[in-house]
Structure 1
Amino acid sequence: MFVEFLDGKYIKVTIITLRCLSGLLKYPLPSLEKNCKEIAAKLFNLLRTYSSSSSQSERGDNLELLMNCYKVISNLIRDVQQFNLNEGKLQVLLHYAEKNLYDNQKQSTAFNLLKSILSRKLSCDKLTDVLAKVMKLSIQADSANVRLQSRQTMLQYILDYSLVEKKLVKLLEFYVMQLNYEYENGRESAITIT
């Protein structure tokens, strides 16, 4: 029934369906596991339909639908082991996360999406670019919450991925160098992660 409602003509019904799905994905329900490919296809179709480059499309109900859609995708990646994400779709999600790291309304969704991707140890070239921005945010962000979210994301990456020694040393050197950062909150953030 939920799969059918994702094709609904009414945006409010689709939003409610997404909210329900978000909660249901935490449970190992056989019907969800069986339909996860179809659910994912419909979610990406919703993203394609409702997101665009114009700021008009990301207001009100459209914004709420997009935020819920990304939340469901994050839960799908993190909680449904049968769900596999191909590299093209992973790049689309990483592009979204990268674009919204600096948007106050969408930051938490972007960080949740990144953490879900990292929890499954998914990887592609775009991930390195996005994490480079997250690394800088962990020091330079004005908001304490953004610095915290960035540090948590970077720590998850450092601890969960089997990084080659050279890459790990490079990441740690970055944080050690930030101990001389001009603002105190950036230095504190660097100390916390090292």
Structure 2
Amino acid sequence: MESHLPSMMHRIANFLKNRLESVRDEARAALAACLKELGLEYLQFVVKVLRGTLKRGFELHVLGFTLNFLLSKFLLNPSSGKLDFCLEDLLSIAINDILSDISEEKEVEKIASKMEETRKQKSYDTLKLIAQSITFKTHALKLLAPILKHLQKQLTPKVKSKFENMFSHIAAGIQCNPSVNQTELFIYEYGLIKDGIKDESPGHAETSTLMEGKQKKDGVSSQIAKSDKLVSVDPRYSHLITEFALGVLQNYMKNMKFDKKDEQLLSMLDPFVRLLGECLNSKYENVMSASLRCLSPLVRLPLPSLESQAEKIKNSLLNIAQGSVTSSNPLLESCVKLLTVLLRSTKITLSTDQLHMLIQFPLFVDLERNPSFVALSLLKAIVSRKLVVAEILQC
């Protein structure tokens, strides 16, 4: 078998160069059948044959499509560690299919409609399949490394959108990866977010001092707060990594059960309060929005850092809301919702000037004709704290 296998695989792969779609489909089916018999440990061998055969023009579209076809056949259910051994080869094909010059042909309707392999970009789904099938602890950073290498040059809006799409699919894959450990994930996310903030605002204080004087002796919160710089990327695009990390964190927290008596969990979440508060000062709206979504469940928990950070978070929320020009702005609504929870859960207060400013927000200006549940909830929280000015009484 060992002597005949290479020539047989090359013969099958050569059929993928055929201009007839039916022939290419049969060749893919044959490759899948071979791989089923050989086992997934032969995937790297098959991939190397494909890369050596499909090198130019339309063949590169066929290469990316075929890889997705094979992975989708053998990775129906998330299973950690299956792709560790050939991660680099798989990522190279997927990323090249998305970012190379030839990838733009998929966006030209006349070209895209000619072939099955150009009608839809399958390599984003390939990245998701890869992300859900690696060992998270040892390969999570290796998953990002080749993508970050491409973030070293000027990005057009179109290419930037491709990066955001890649990160989004990787985040979705990590979410269902069975090897993800809670502590490892928090350390990973904290490090990435910290790196992003540091790159965006080089002058801010080191966030590694975040738990100084407060960290538990179990070392969990200490590990998170003092995580080293995880990635190096052009500071102009570090916010894309921050958005990615916040997205993974938000996805994970959506499915979490928050036990207010679980001291270990609380100690792991506590460092994020200040970190996410700093994200609210970002100049990128996507970073601020994601931070608000991550902070929302945290401010309901008895986290020590809330005592020292609630006032700063409140001021950041007011600054963001003040910059909103329409009442339908999702960012404004998110700020008002979080401010409402802060008023109910912490000891923060609002000065007379801040209350006057709140009433001028678009959300409150036309409250009588267009009642807003979000605005009314905040007013209720304000009144319950007896923080009242004349304008509120008139509402």
- TM-score, normalized by length of structure 2? 0.36
Gaps of 5+ in 1: none
AA aligned to 2:292 is F
Give 1:113-152 correspondences, 5 Å limit. Answer: 113-122=294-303, 123-138=306-321, 141-144=324-327, 145=329, 146-152=331-337
Gaps of 5+ in 2: 1-134, 149-165, 202-233, 368-373, 380-395
Q: What residue is the counterpart of 1:157 in the other structure?
A: 342
| Number of equivalenced pairs | 176
> How far apart are the structure 1 equivalents of 2:322 and 2:362?
10
Q: What residue is the counterpart of 1:112 in the other structure?
A: 293
> How far apart are the structure 2 equivalents of 1:176 and 1:92?
27
For residue 37 of structure 1, report the CA deviation from its aligned partner: 0.7
**SS state of the match for residue 120, structure 1?**
coil
Q: 1:151 to 1:188 in 2, by over 3 A?
A: farther
Question: Does residue 142 of structure 2 align to residue 8 of structure 1?
Answer: yes
**SS state of the match for residue 142, structure 1?**
coil
> How far apart are the structure 1 equivalents of 2:358 and 2:243?
36
> How far apart are the structure 1 equivalents of 2:352 and 2:255?
34
91, 95, 98: which one aligns with 2:278: 95
AA aligned to 1:99 is N
Q: What residue is the counterpart of 1:187 in the other structure?
A: 365
181, 190, 194: which one aligns with 1:44: 190
For residue 156 of structure 1, report the CA deviation from its aligned partner: 2.3
Q: What residue is the counterpart of 1:177 in the other structure?
A: 356
Q: 1:185 to 1:78 in 2, by over 3 A?
A: closer
More deviation, 78-87/68-77 = 78-87
For residue 89 of structure 1, report the CA deviation from its aligned partner: 4.3
Q: 1:153 to 1:188 in 2, by over 3 A?
A: farther
Question: Does residue 198 of structure 2 align to residue 19 of structure 1?
Answer: no
CA contact (8 A) 1:47 1:66 kept: yes
Q: 1:4 to 1:19 in 2, by over 3 A?
A: farther
Aligned-residue identity in percent = 9
CA contact (8 A) 1:134 1:154 kept: yes
226, 235, 238: which one aligns with 1:57: 235
**SS state of the match for residue 6, structure 1?**
helix
CA contact (8 A) 2:363 2:375 kept: no
Tell me the alpha carbon deviations over residues 37-86 of structure 1, each in whole angstroms, 9 at most, x when there is no partner. 11211222333455543584242xx4433212112223445543463336
> How far apart are the structure 1 equivalents of 2:146 and 2:273?
25
Q: 1:184 to 1:175 in 2, by over 3 A?
A: same
Question: Does residue 220 of structure 2 align to residue 74 of structure 1?
Answer: no
Task: Compare CA radii of gyration and give the structure with the larger one.
Answer: 2
CA contact (8 A) 1:118 1:156 kept: yes
Q: 1:99 to 1:11 in 2, by over 3 A?
A: farther
CA contact (8 A) 2:194 2:275 kept: no
Tell me the alpha carbon deviations over residues 63-117 of structure 1, each in whole angstroms, 9 at most, x when there is no partner. 4332121122234455434633364443223212x322x5333231121122132
> How far apart are the structure 1 equivalents of 2:287 and 2:358?
29
Q: 1:66 to 1:139 in 2, by over 3 A?
A: closer
RMSD: 3.8
- TM-score, normalized by length of structure 1? 0.66
